[in-house]
Amino acid sequence: MTGIAEVHRRSLDRPEEFWVAAAGAIDWEKRWDRVLDDSRPPFYRWFAGGRLNTCWNALDRHVAAGRGERVALIYDSPVTDTVASLTYRELRDRVARFAGMLSRLGVAHGDRVLIYMPMVPEAAVAMLACARIGAVHSVVFGGFAAHELATRIDDAKPKVIVSASCGVEVNRLVPYKPLLDAAIAEAAAKPLASVVLQRPMCRAELVPGQDRDWHELEAAAQPIDCVPVAATDPLYILYTSGTTGIPKGVVRDNGGYAVALHWSMKNIYGVASDEVFWTASDVGWVVGHSYIVYAPLIYGCTSVLYEGKPVGTPDAGAFWRVIEQHKVRVFFTAPTSFRAIKREDPNGALIRIRDLSQFRALFLAGERADPPTVAWAEQVLGVPVIDHWWQTETGWPIGANCLGIEKLPVRPGSCTRAVPGWDIRVLDPAAESDLRELPAGEIGSLAVKLPLPPGALPTLWQQDERFVQSYLSAYPGYYQTGDAGFIDADGYIQVMARTDDIINVAAHRLSTGEMEEVLAAHPDVAECAVMGVADALKGQVPLGLLVLKAGVTRPAAEIETEAVALVRDKIGPVASFKAALVVERLPKTRSGKILRGTMRAIADGEDYRTPATIDDPAILGEIAERLREAGYPTRG
């Protein structure tokens, strides 16, 4: 068996040969003229001249190969008490009809369709239907604020918007239609029509002449066939927040994405095409695009689409019930989910009542997986727990333990090694005029040597200059990940923090991630966050916020004192770690990322915008009050 080091070396030494071999697993209407079009750097394109259809590769080819009765999608919704499944044939037929609906509404190749949906099978149907006719979908997380939705409408200029009457949360309904109507009213770019899926628990008032009922249109629709598109044509736009307040529309192409995702399922996740793969995320995020919808279906797996939470639907055993019931082999979620489960069920009692004998591996991504959480998960589950690193922009993993090639020893805090295709370097952020690589073990800016492999963003939607400015200008010839970390002598990557979270304490560059590792090891701490706050003498000093495990009754002040001592003991006085505060909860995005930058701004008394992606805006007020009590110069 070829080891990961050899496969990685081959992918960098002979990239065109490597990706041509991977592309052989995909159905092509026409083979490419050039494997890598490097005629206009830094705008590299893969499989230029090739033609294919992503929906065909995800659905029709499996039906044509006699696998139409295999289950493609399991819909599991504890919030509506629903479990249902669609075979590849059934999903293909629904997608073909919805594609016919879109076509009748005037949507054609290259047109945009904005999808604003909850976690229901129809969200995947709408995405795949766009791919079927060569339309470009832009999925926006269901329940997103009207103003933020309007900015995305104005940028993408969708011909049609696809939505639902509501989303269902643990204890409430979220009506989508008022938010959608407000966004359309605010936006300058008006869609021709909105298609609304009426959910029985909350029906929406439809606007005559503007809104269409999904079920009525579907009943009258005629199925249509796949439309071949250029490999370099956009499949979707996915918006990520920009520093200017104007969202950045990450573009994903058809050909390179299909090739990279198919390759990743076997080689990174180590699954077989007849197994069940579950990603607990949302289709509004890149993880949902890549590993709920496209990758599992292109590969031929059964994918689970879960409308629920890690805790509260009904308890901290929700994930284990799904894994047992649907015989999930490989599971992928965010570290924040495990921290929530660990907080509610610290001894893993709800795991032991389930038969997880078929469960083989857990993958974590979205935020750095702190070693105590990884160790807890390994202990209670008894399977490999793999932290892996990637971004909205990359579309698939950059660093991982590639189980399908060679399972390497897990090292706490590391995402293991660079995935084949990714040439990762650690660059000196202080060397402004010259590119200088840092030696093994030294923290710097993590960057990827160009060209990026297939599946990564080729540009931003209609913003080539912003693409270069945002990602390629700091280190010419490299993609700037925005993450900081180091690579050790064995090639293991440690992603320590976002570059903005490397703090300068009296001219010492320190990682907040390293401090969080220490704090998370405290026996009473469920999760934590460290950020650098302003200090007149030292420039910045770290502040730690701690969330305690359920059932902890010791005085908060006692735990705070212990936490400070722990960091000073493990990292040393150089950290200047003197403040830890116990809080009820941490502000996070809906995808689970902790809003460290927003909390830093609050602590420093700066103006800040409430992020559109925040899970619960009320948490910011709670954090501000706690910081005010502790003497920080918060406003309001």
Q: What is the pTM of this model?
A: 0.86
Question: Please, which residues have CB within 8 angstroms of residue 500's CB and are 6 or more apart in sequence?
Answer: 482, 597
Res 170 pLDDT > 90? no
Res 244 pLDDT > 80? no
Confidence of residue 538 (pLDDT cuts 50, 70, 90): low
Structure confidence at residue 479 (pLDDT): 97
Q: Tokens for 33?
A: 């003229």
Cis amide linkage into residue 314, ω under 30° from 0: yes
Question: Please, which residues have CB within 8 angstroms of residue 589's CB and are 6 or more apart in sequence?
Answer: 595, 611, 613, 614, 615
Res 387 pLDDT > 90? yes
b/e for 157-167, b at 16 or more Cβ within 10 A?
Answer: bbbbbbbbbbb
Please choose, from the candidates 613, 620, 629, 626, the residue with its C-alpha nearest in 3D space to the C-alpha of residue 141: 613
What domains does the chain contain, in order, with CATH numbers?
Answer: 4-308+388-485 (3.40.50.12780), 506-629 (3.30.300.30)
What share of the chain in percent tops pLDDT 70? Answer: 94
Confidence of residue 578 (pLDDT cuts 50, 70, 90): confident
Pick 366 or 234 by higher pLDDT: 234
Res 218 pLDDT > 60? yes
Structure confidence at residue 413 (pLDDT): 86
| Per-residue DSSP letter, 499 | G
Q: Give 483's strand partners.
A: 498
Half-sphere exposure for 5 (CA within 13 Å, toward CB): 4
Distance CA 511, CA 497 (A): 7
* Element of type H or E holding 623: helix 618-629
* Element of type H or E holding 77: strand 71-77
Q: Tokens for 611?
A: 């992020």
Question: pLDDT tens across 181-190, in order?
Answer: 999 999 999 9
Question: Please, which residues have CB within 8 angstroms of residue 447's CB and are 6 or more apart in sequence?
Answer: 424, 425, 426, 427, 475, 478, 479, 480, 481
CB 499 within 8 A of CB 483: yes
Give the CA radius of gyration of the chain. Answer: 24
Distance CA 365, CA 135 (A): 29
Structure confidence at residue 340 (pLDDT): 87
CB 634 within 8 A of CB 607: no
Confidence of residue 587 (pLDDT cuts 50, 70, 90): confident
Res 102 pLDDT > 60? yes
Q: What is the mean pLDDT of residues 413-422?
A: 96
